[in-house]
């Protein structure tokens, strides 16, 4: 979804350069140079863009729901770990980049969805994603958000990243998280409370070409992901007027469950042992959140999360 919009924006920029409006392209490049650090400094959100009527229909299409299980005191800053990545990350976008769902459930908190820095190099597209409340996933960007004195900021990080999208098959419960501890270190350094978030239904929106680990397709995808920084899952779903094939996601409900916060005391120089200890606790809380709610959203009792 984001890729299609990004391609359109890049295409429009190329038209400006090749057409009679090259001077507008030059002016925009100057603006891009002067504004380059904004995605790492809280972005530039627009309440008007976040409140577009189209997002209401976007959320209702699946539909997308945000479930609150605990209060989040706006006097603190929070780091929300979002799972799983899926193909579209629809739950993260629908709940944290559009209004009014999140602010109604968690008044006083401002959500920032962190995405790959590469997206902010795309002309015009960067303006759109920043207006929706998306910022860079760089360390500098996360630090900027979590360093807000007085609290009230919530960083949302899709922990599994692009690599996890390659596991986004219907029914898959595999999360890439065992080696991902950078978010734990950031939470400790800023004293941000950790909150596990599991989005039930995220992996059901598309069917993906079989790519088991060790297969030639998976090997190619993983190599490309390391080179380009983002993954290329081969997926399909439904069409506009038929359900057999297309790129429009299936209408499957998404229930994004926000867990209880894990209190974190600020530690500017956490040791490896302290990071590992908090990481283990986070995994326990994430698994508990999943187990407590899986029966509500059609997950068989015998199925559990798989951490890789």
Per residue in 222-233, pLDDT (tens digit) is 888 888 777 788
What average pLDDT does the structure give for the chain?
92
Rounded CA separation 245/3 (Å): 19
Q: Residue 36 has what pLDDT?
A: 95
**For the chain, percent of residues with pLDDT exceeding 70:** 94
Q: What is the CATH number of domain 40-307?
A: 3.40.1130
Q: Give the global pTM.
A: 0.92
Q: Residue 23 has what pLDDT?
A: 74
Pull the structure tokens for residue 74: 């706006």
Instruction: Return the minimum-mean-pLDDT range out of 150-159, 185-194, 219-228.
Output: 219-228
Distance of CA 260 to the CA centre of its chain: 19
Q: Evaluate if residue 97 carries a pLDDT over 60.
A: yes
Q: Beta partners for 232?
A: none
What is the CB neighbour count within 10 angstroms for residue 57? 9
| DSSP annotation of 41 | T
Contact 262, 285 (CB under 8 A): yes
Rounded CA separation 96/90 (Å): 10
Check the CA dihedral 161-67-284-271 and report its sign: positive
Q: What is the mean pLDDT of residues 196-218?
A: 95
Q: Evaluate if residue 108 carries a pLDDT over 90.
A: yes
Contact 280, 194 (CB under 8 A): no
Looking at the chain, which residues constitute the CATH 3.40.1130 domain(s)? 40-307
């Amino acid at each position: 979804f984001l890729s299609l919009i990004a391609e359109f924006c890049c295409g429009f920029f190329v038209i400006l350069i090749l057409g009679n409006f090259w001077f507008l392209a030059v002016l925009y490049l100057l603006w891009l140079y002067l504004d380059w650090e904004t995605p790492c400094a809280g972005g530039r959100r627009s309440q008007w863009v976040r409140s577009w009527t189209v997002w209401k229909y976007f959320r209702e299409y699946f539909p997308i729901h945000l479930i609150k299980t605990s209060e989040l005191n706006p006097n603190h800053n929070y780091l929300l770990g979002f799972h799983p990545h899926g193909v579209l990350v629809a739950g993260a976008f629908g709940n944290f980049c559009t209004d009014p769902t999140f602010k109604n459930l968690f008044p006083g908190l401002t959500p920032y969805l962190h995405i790959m820095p590469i997206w902010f190099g795309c002309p015009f597209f960067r303006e759109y994603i920043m207006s929706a409340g998306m910022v860079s996933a760089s360390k500098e960007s996360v630090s900027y958000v979590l360093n807000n004195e007085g609290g009230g900021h919530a960083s949302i990080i899709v922990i599994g990243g692009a690599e996890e999208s390659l596991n986004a098959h219907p029914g898959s419960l595999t999360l890439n998280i065992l080696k991902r501890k950078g978010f734990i270190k950031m939470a400790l350094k800023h004293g941000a409370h950790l909150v596990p978030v599991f989005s039930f239904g995220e992996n059901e929106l598309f069917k993906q070409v079989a790519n088991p680990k060790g297969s030639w397709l998976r090997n190619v995808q993983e190599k490309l992901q390391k080179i380009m920084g983002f993954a290329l899952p081969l997926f399909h779903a439904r069409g506009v007027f038929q359900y057999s094939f297309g790129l429009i996601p299936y209408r499957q409900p998404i229930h994004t469950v926000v867990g209880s916060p894990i209190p974190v005391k600020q530690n500017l120089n956490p040791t490896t042992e302290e990071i590992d200890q908090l990481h283990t606790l986070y995994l326990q809380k994430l698994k508990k959140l999943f187990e407590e709610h899986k029966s509500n959203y059609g997950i068989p009792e015998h199925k559990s999360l798989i951490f890789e």
